[in-house]
Structure 1
Amino acid sequence: MPTFNKEKEEVMEICNGKKRRKVSGGVRDCRRSVVGKMRRAAGKVLRSLLVEDNNHHTESMEEDDDYFCVSFLRNGRMKPGSAVSPRYNLVREVGRGSYGVVYEAVSRKTGATVAVKRLQCDAPENVELALAEFWALTSLENRHQNVVQLEECVLQRSGLAQKMSHGNKRSKQYLRLVETSLKGERILGYPEGPCYLWFVMEFCEGGDLNQYILSRRPDPQTNCSFMRQLTSAVAFLHKNNIVHRDLKPDNILISQKSGTPVLKVADFGLSKVCAGLKRNISEEHPATGAAGRGSNQNNINNINKYWLSSACGSDFYMAPEVWEGHYTAKADIFALGIIIWAMLERITFIDAESKRELLGTYIRQGTEIVPVGEALLENPKMVLHIPQRARSSMSEDVKKLLQDMLAVNPQDRPDAFQLESTKGPLCFPALFTT
């Protein structure tokens, strides 16, 4: 039987290799080889970087132990004898992964707090992940309140920095990164001068979805708001031909600047921009009205027919077809269903490596726990018991919604547009029975 902590949240700890799997929340094929260590200590960062404009080269600046600063020069030129003011000051490290570090930083120009993410491009796998995130975020022509906003990206190597732009064929550094990713071999050379991509993004002071949900008492209104925000974000990405492929609570951040929590889908390192699908549908249909909604539906239908083959993601959120390596954007819908189910019932497990309590749904098989997607792959006829708790007050509408989102056959799942639509199941105001 499941065990419960003092707040009656379901918890299963996997440790010492005694269970079937080591629960790490880590990703599979796409990231399992991404184990490059950061060669510098967390506080050892560049004091100042001068930016070239694709054609002009500038001098490198000295290092400092406390701050990372990026200085942009107008027209790529610096007047002789002029002092370069740092653009961003690092404040503290707020997160660290297998191939990058995230810092809280302050803009010297506006005083605004931002997040600065440093990705070391020291291996083809790291370059591929960094470019995937860059391409996904820069391919978005419009902003969405529930998708983390990229302010700018800087490529730095050997003390020189260059502001990145999408598809910049004049930048030799950018082309070398692309070639490294495509060829799968390191061609940058100069190991004494490591290459980094720095992403400057909006800062989310509320932490991730795990931290926010598990540090507060259950609130149906918050749950309902988060469901709507998550489905809106995924619909926006799918309309823009982006499959996230790694949706999980760790990658959903919380902003509280407006006074109410706003979700931000982040971490696009495993995302896929489905090239060749985009077309100017605004000329065929107006942006509003029935015709506009129809054009959005057609766009999502297109992405749901785009087949992907890299089995990547995080185990507990991966759809059955992802384990087989043949899937579409409907895999994001499955992951979203797992997240919503875990959020509503506060189903958690303890990560074996970080010892963090994480939101995630799974299937118990004797003394073992198995990701839902893997269990459904092994037994497609298995019936999911939603809700898990016998005394749950989950409404029949939400129960049916989750069953549909977690269907074994991707074609039986609703698409992102249907979830977002005002006529969809999420329009019901009552998440729980009274």
Structure 2
Amino acid sequence: MELRNGIHREVRTVQQQQQQQRRGCKRARPAENPPKAGVCKVLRPLPLEDNDGEAVRAEDGGGCFSFFKSAKPGHFGVPPAAPRYSLLREVGRGSYGVVYEAVARRSGARVAVKKLRCDAPEKVELALAEFWALASLEKKHENVVQLEECVLERNGMAQKMSHGNKRSKQYLRLVETSLKGERILGYPEEPCYLWFVMEFCEGGDLNQYILSRRPDPKTNRSFMKQLTSAVAFLHKNNIVHRDLKPDNILISQKSGSPVIKVADFGLSKVCAGLGCEAQVGEDQVNKNVNVNKFWLSSACGSDFYMAPEVWEGHYTAKADIFALGIIIWAMIERITFIDAESKRELLGTYVRQGSEIVPVGEALLENPKMVLSIPQKPRSPMSDEIRKLLQDMLAVNPQDRPDAFQLEFRMDQVTCAA
């Protein structure tokens, strides 16, 4: 059973997404030529538009948005004097939202701003899942993207969101929409948006960073430790990411050396209860949950990184460990494929079946006795210790995989020994 703020991934829209992913998987092809250093192009500034092509409202001569203070709890307030953030350029766009680079007018700090239009249940589910996951973290972690604030906007007015704000009618309306699977009622000219303000990662995603540079064992070891540390932190806080992939791993270079930032929590689960399928309510937090005994039943994620049990729709947090194994394996050996839809070259391992390539998880589901060829390349830089660890992370039986805490300990050992 899922509590009132659960993310109901069993709805038909997500099933359709999974069918599209599987069809796209068969059209994907391996990358034939390894990328050369420096091929990653800088994103150019684009016209500021929202998901539906409508121009973002400009104030004070620039593309920007404003946070409004509520006059009364549960109501939107009066227009402000000046916007708090100015949008500089679009840096990413997906099915459910647009991400901009922005600057805080008062401090001049650069931030990332994600705008999600909440006019359909599946969009509301993704937005609320991300908000609940990031807002539930009482402590910060260096390798998890930091949420500065979340703002709910409707009809040109906006209200800062707080975790479990029962006094906000608009917030409760979003929760109800997510649960009932019904569209938000209202006029087309009064769309509802959620704006997420997060730390800006100037290094791009893991694909861009790794494939635009020469192989560097030191960077690989550092990234492996940071990734396992981030996942252990999330699992300790009862969060199962469910969509770990290079696209959702960002790189910050503010400290001089690259720092991993796990991001995009739209498919995440905040687990609660005693092994039953549930999610943390707005004011219900169980700190004694064993996240590895919490069963999930929604087949979601990105197919090249999905564990065998996810394809079946019955899995635990160990699915994150499998996805991490695919990412680390691909990063070390620079194994890539060409995404069927975006035509981008992405890090990811796979199994060849004739002229097709198949996700490792799907291939293991079809043939549980299959032995993975780790390492895949004859002159691989992979050590025997890393090879054994990857074999355990990618075990077909999730009980044979280490949990996030065991993985963090073992990763420290093998990276220090390298």
C-alpha distance in 1 between matches for 2:28 and 2:303? 9
1:390 to partner: Cα distance? 1.4
CA contact (8 A) 1:46 1:68 kept: yes
CA contact (8 A) 1:45 1:66 kept: no
Show the 5 A alignment for 1:42-121.
44-47=55-58, 66-73=62-69, 84-121=81-118
For each residue in 1:76-120, what CA deviation from the matched residue of structure 2 results, as whole angstroms up to 9, or x when unmatched? 79xxx9971210000000000001000000000100000000001
Q: Residue 395 of structure 1 aligns with which residue? A: 383
Match status 1:262 vs 2:259: yes
C-alpha distance in 1 between matches for 2:226 and 2:308? 25
C-alpha distance in 2 between matches for 1:427 and 1:256? 26
1:72 to partner: Cα distance? 4.0
CA distance change for structure 1 residues 24 and 150 in 2, over 3 Å: closer, same or farther? farther
Q: Residue 414 of structure 1 aligns with which residue? A: 402
Q: Residue 200 of structure 2 aligns with which residue? A: 203
Letter in 2 for 1:108: R
Match status 1:39 vs 2:44: no
CA contact (8 A) 2:148 2:199 kept: yes
CA distance change for structure 1 residues 91 and 425 in 2, over 3 Å: closer, same or farther? closer
Aligned to 2:26, which of 18, 21, 24?
A: 21
Q: Residue 385 of structure 1 aligns with which residue? A: 373
CA contact (8 A) 2:392 2:402 kept: yes
Q: Residue 230 of structure 2 aligns with which residue? A: 233
Stretch moving more, 268-277 or 164-173: 268-277
C-alpha distance in 1 between matches for 2:168 and 2:104? 26
C-alpha distance in 1 between matches for 2:379 and 2:98? 42
C-alpha distance in 1 between matches for 2:317 and 2:79? 51
1:75 to partner: Cα distance? 6.8
Show the 5 A alignment for 1:142-291.
142-276=139-273
Q: Secondary structure at the match of 1:45?
A: coil
Show the 5 A alignment for 1:286-305.
302-305=290-293
C-alpha distance in 2 between matches for 1:237 and 1:20? 28
Give the alignment's TM-score, normalised by structure 2.
0.82
Moved over 6 A (4+): 17-20, 74-77
Q: Residue 293 of structure 1 aligns with which residue? A: none
CA contact (8 A) 2:29 2:356 kept: no
CA distance change for structure 1 residues 131 and 392 in 2, over 3 Å: closer, same or farther? same
Q: Residue 318 of structure 1 aligns with which residue? A: 306
C-alpha distance in 2 between matches for 1:114 and 1:246? 23
C-alpha distance in 1 between matches for 2:208 and 2:288? 34
Q: Residue 355 of structure 1 aligns with which residue? A: 343
Q: Secondary structure at the match of 2:324?
A: helix
Give the alignment's TM-score, normalised by structure 1.
0.79
1:66 to partner: Cα distance? 4.1
CA contact (8 A) 1:395 1:430 kept: no
CA contact (8 A) 2:225 2:411 kept: no
C-alpha distance in 2 between matches for 1:194 and 1:204? 29
CA distance change for structure 1 residues 407 and 18 in 2, over 3 Å: closer, same or farther? closer
Q: Secondary structure at the match of 1:68?
A: strand
1:40 to partner: Cα distance? 2.7
1:22 to partner: Cα distance? 2.6
C-alpha distance in 1 between matches for 2:358 and 2:315? 20
1:412 to partner: Cα distance? 0.2
Letter in 1 for 2:255: S
Letter in 2 for 1:227: M
Q: Secondary structure at the match of 2:327?
A: helix
1:352 to partner: Cα distance? 2.0
C-alpha distance in 1 between matches for 2:79 and 2:201? 35
CA contact (8 A) 1:321 1:327 kept: yes
C-alpha distance in 2 between matches for 1:416 and 1:19? 30
Q: Secondary structure at the match of 1:148?
A: coil
CA contact (8 A) 1:239 1:299 kept: no
CA contact (8 A) 1:176 1:188 kept: no
Letter in 2 for 1:69: F
For each residue in 1:226-270, what CA deviation from the matched residue of structure 2 results, as whole angstroms up to 9, or x when unmatched? 000000000000000000000000000000000000000000000
CA contact (8 A) 2:119 2:184 kept: no
Stretch moving more, 170-179 or 346-355: 346-355
CA distance change for structure 1 residues 429 and 123 in 2, over 3 Å: closer, same or farther? closer
- Identity percentage of aligned residues: 77
Q: Residue 278 of structure 2 aligns with which residue? A: none
1:191 to partner: Cα distance? 2.5
CA contact (8 A) 1:24 1:353 kept: no
C-alpha distance in 2 between matches for 1:410 and 1:192? 48
Letter in 1 for 2:238: N
CA distance change for structure 1 residues 19 and 40 in 2, over 3 Å: closer, same or farther? closer
Q: Secondary structure at the match of 2:167?
A: coil
1:68 to partner: Cα distance? 1.9
CA RMSD of aligned residues (A): 2.5
CA distance change for structure 1 residues 118 and 83 in 2, over 3 Å: closer, same or farther? closer
Q: Residue 137 of structure 1 aligns with which residue? A: 134
